[in-house]
Amino acid sequence: MSDLVLEATDVAKSYGRGESRFDALKGVSMQVRAGESLAILGKSGSGKSTLMHILALLDAPDAGSLRISGHDVTSLSTADIHRLRNRDFGFVFQQFFLVPDATVLENVIMPLKIAGVGVRERTERGMAALRALELDDKARNRATALSGGQKQRAVIARALVNEPTVIFADEPTGNLDTVTGGIVEDILFDLNRDKGITLVIVTHDEELAARCDRQIHLRDGLEVSPELAGAAA
């Protein structure tokens, strides 16, 4: 049995039409193995976030194929894709995307509510995730009452609550100061090491990327060597 969790082949994606058309990806192939940490590097406009969105089933490619744990995604219905994404994937973004008027716990258990998990179970699992991030004492607080670092920890708790096989992190420390960003990085890599969660990080931060097992460099919608990527910076 293959240990590949993600496999993209000649993936292409464009936005707009005519003179305004932008080719974000021009045929990228890549594989992600279970339990590894992977950084997708590139400057703004390189296609790195587009690639992550396709891998994470948040967007669909115009051409090419994507397989999740050996299954061809093109054969799945929209409902199946939503179910797969909610069950297997967790997300940590630069923008926190927390509901400001909801409590921290309500934010964390949102994926479980969408999945139809009962109130008691989702509350227990939400509190367990918050305890793991040392944030359980903030469970009843409004999300607006948290500091930046606490908000990102709440986002990681939300990403963890459905016990995902893969966490996608798009510039996860971009809105944080250096010290707080380092703490968030440590949490993500601890989850990768201790729980075997596959970690896919989109970043322009070379130091963060260097902590990953492997790096993929994008430039103008194509994978390039690190030397070429550096020359483009």
Residue with tokens 């986002």: 155
Which pTM was predicted?
0.90
What's the rounded Cα separation, in Å, for the pair 139 and 141? 6
Q: What is the pLDDT of residues 40-93, one digit of tens each?
A: 999 888 999 999 999 999 999 999 999 998 889 988 898 999 888 988 999 998
Q: What pLDDT was estimated at residue 18? A: 85
Q: Is the pLDDT of residue 229 over 80?
A: no
Distance from first CA to last CA of the chain, Å, rounded?
40
- Is it the case that residue 233 has pLDDT exceeding 50? no
Start-end of H helices in the chain:
48-55, 78-88, 104-108, 110-114, 119-132, 148-160, 178-195, 206-210, 226-232
How confident is the model at residue 25, as a pLDDT? Answer: 96
Residues 90 and 164: beta-carbon distance below 8 Å = yes
Q: In the structure, what pLDDT confidence band is assigned to residue 20 with cuts at 50, 70 and 90?
A: confident
Q: Give the pLDDT mean for 2-20.
A: 91
Q: Does residue 143 register a pLDDT over 80?
A: yes
Residues near 59 by beta carbon (within 8 Å), at least 6 away in sequence:
13, 50, 53
The domain total for the chain is 1
Is the pLDDT at 146 greater than 70? The verdict is yes
| Amino acid 95: pLDDT | 82
Residues in the chain, overall count: 233
Q: Look at residue 230 and tell me whether its pLDDT is greater than 70.
A: no
Is pLDDT at 226 greater than 90 in this prediction? no
Per-residue confidence (pLDDT) for residue 119, from 0 to 100: 94
CA distances 25 to 90, 118, 161, 202, Å, are 23, 40, 32, 15
CATH number at residue 112: 3.40.50.300
Under the banding of pLDDT at 50, 70 and 90, the label for residue 1 is very low
pLDDT at 157: 94
The per-residue pLDDT for 231 is: 47
User: What DSSP letter does each residue of 202-233 carry, written as one string?
Assistant: EES-HHHHHTSSEEEEEETTEEE-HHHHHHH-
Q: Is 133 helix (H, G, I), strand (E, B) or coil?
A: coil
Closest CA to 52 of 15, 20, 11: 11
Q: What percent of the chain has pLDDT over 70?
A: 96
| Domain of residue 143, residue span | 4-232
